[in-house]
Structure 1
Amino acid sequence: MKNSDREKLTDAIQKKIGYSFRNKDLLTEALTHSSYANESGSSSHNERIEYLGDAVLELTVSDLLYNKYKDLDEGQLTRIRSQIVCEKKLYEWALAVGLRDAIRLGKSLIKKGPTSAIAADAAESLFGAVFLDGGYNAALALAKAYLDFHGDELSPDRQDSKTMLQETLQAMGMGVPYYRTVERTGPDHSLRFKVEVTIGDDLLAEAWGNTIKEAEFEAAGTALEKIGK
């Protein structure tokens, strides 16, 4: 991709998120996958800034939810946060603000393009980059925009996918699902986990996540889709 084309993409991203970077290198770093850095001989990629962004996203979203829903208890707040701070929702937002198309990939990955996991990681990296460039309040404003994007999906009473799957299977007389972590990959600061959900000896679904808990929710959601719920 030409530099001029990439600049247009990054300019569009900044307009969509409502934040203009003073240090453009931070935005470039957030959008650089390790495969690109490895092939170009650079040490600059988004794994470290993703580590920071993951923490920034969780803190800022927690801050906003805590102040918005003053009557909810810890469990309800955690349930809402888990609905939107996950790979699927990060990927949806990454698509909406144009992150996916702007990620720099190595030649080995360019053909198929960024996976949902790569795009979600870039979204977390963006939170880290905004925090480093503009401080906590800038990151908080970005988190508010992220929450507003997913606003219609926020509900303290909405059941999570694991609860829904268990209740659905029990209603069908099939027993209780079992979750098993079958694979983990990535550096220590950015591990990804693959989880299988089974019922008896039958595999219902499998999914990846940035945490075991997230992977379990993703697997449960996939299982629900397969059984038409």
Structure 2
Amino acid sequence: MIETLEILTVKKEILIQVPPFSEYKAVITDIEETLFWIGLPRQEGQVLVLQKDQEIQIRVPMRYGLYSADSKVVAIGHDSQRFYGLLIPERFQMLKARQFMRVEHATHVLFSSGNDTAQTAMLNFSEGGCMVYVTPALEKMLQAANDFSVSFQVNGELITTTARLAWRKNTDNVPYAGFKFTNLLPAQRQRLADLAALFSKD
């Protein structure tokens, strides 16, 4: 079972939900004995206004899945970095397990499609795909295609395969994209799973 303080860590991005509103993103900025502080929750330019003692639901994406817990607002701060103090839940429940284990790993990735190429930086990977920054060159390629050849190194090993755009998002005006690996050979998939397991122990 994963411990609460493994889930709630400073700089972790979490999702705040107050029905019937949609989820708002916030970042944990400080943790005290019984509460943790978050910055002002935002979603597509809108801010979430909460009241003291208001009950909320927290959702936290983790390496192995999406975790959820009930909480409430126990303090209201006076600056954007310590805007709401939320009660630390006793336990979290896994809502959805990830199909593949995702690990953070920074490396360069080369995308190619036809005669076009773009290099960018990877943030994380799994045996199923990877997450990268969207550079202007990659943005141009995304306007013309969804399927790409990709190559990158993990632990000194060169991985070359094909990938398809799975999703896009912007966080604090920084564009990201997720790609699903396609046509992986069984040996490649197993090797990526082994490398993900290796980096998960760091």
TM-score (norm 1): 0.23
TM-score (norm 2): 0.25
Which has the larger strand fraction? 2
With CA pairs under 8 Å and 6+ residues apart, which has the higher RCO, 1 or 2? 1
Which has the larger helix fraction? 1
